[in-house]
Chain A
């Protein structure tokens, strides 16, 4: 029998690095470290400093020693996602064509991005549909260097939405994940084990950022509605547009549940508000394995990354 490896999940936001450790049976550790202001635009930071921050996080828990495999979950706002429609191509041809297809949508050239994709469907005319992901190479190099300096081995880099979708991978019905942060919210629809749609929306509001960054954000439903009505109106509009896009393209399939995560998910009454606006059951996302430490919803991307089971 092959013993399951320990896996370290690391999620990056503009302000925090979060760590979750999976030992093959349960989440044995969660922790966080604040990122310096210089890292607010991730790629501008010094990799050595990132290495030190990760190393200090690891050193706090002795049982992590010797476990090096790390999966990184990058905020959806850092990764460009698009559905590509292409004629049937070999894997090699796809790898060559996709960056050029995506560079028109990005302020970067084809040789400045890393691209990965998977097939999500086929059109009646034989064209294939792919969910494609593109990310700035500079950012990836910075992260990889930082991980290596802290003696970690990067196994995979994925998006927060994919990490969050993994938490509900045994859910047989289409579902929506919504990750609400202090600056951005991202949403994704999953069905048949695949992420079908992925969008992000800015949550630019100083008051909102302050509220979310509180340890125990308390607010009444009325305050939430009146104070952040416009913000939530934008958010629910985007969520409904995302759900409609999915349902129009997937012959009769309907989104049946919503799973919240992110530091914004623990704002009181937010689930009630979204439930009212979307007319769908809204719950806080939960990992499918036990966790020996308490954690808040901002750790869910890191936990989802640690549960990566690709090997």
Chain B
């Protein structure tokens, strides 16, 4: 099974368990074709976010086609933005999705599995804001 050249996805959550569970679900729905990495919790695995964990996640998720970051709550965005401001090596292109966490992760995983580029994967994740489940 090839994992080459699909867009990677990093799930940034305040909870390591939430990020890992969502990554497990989205990975399966992406048919195992997509690098989906959980970056949840603080450095000592408490509730919160970690620049170091997100940076490691970006490196793991990047297979050359770029990476989409999906934050769980607004303050996760601050961590991602702080990391970008720090500089250092980052995937390119890199986008942050403004999307619901679970639905956005699943939609992004499926879009990445079809070979979509970062813009297409971002768009799939953000369309999840409008998806009804009832």
Q: Do chains A and B interact in one complex?
A: no
* Residues of B in contact with A (beta carbons under 8 Å apart): none
* Residues of A in contact with B (beta carbons under 8 Å apart): none
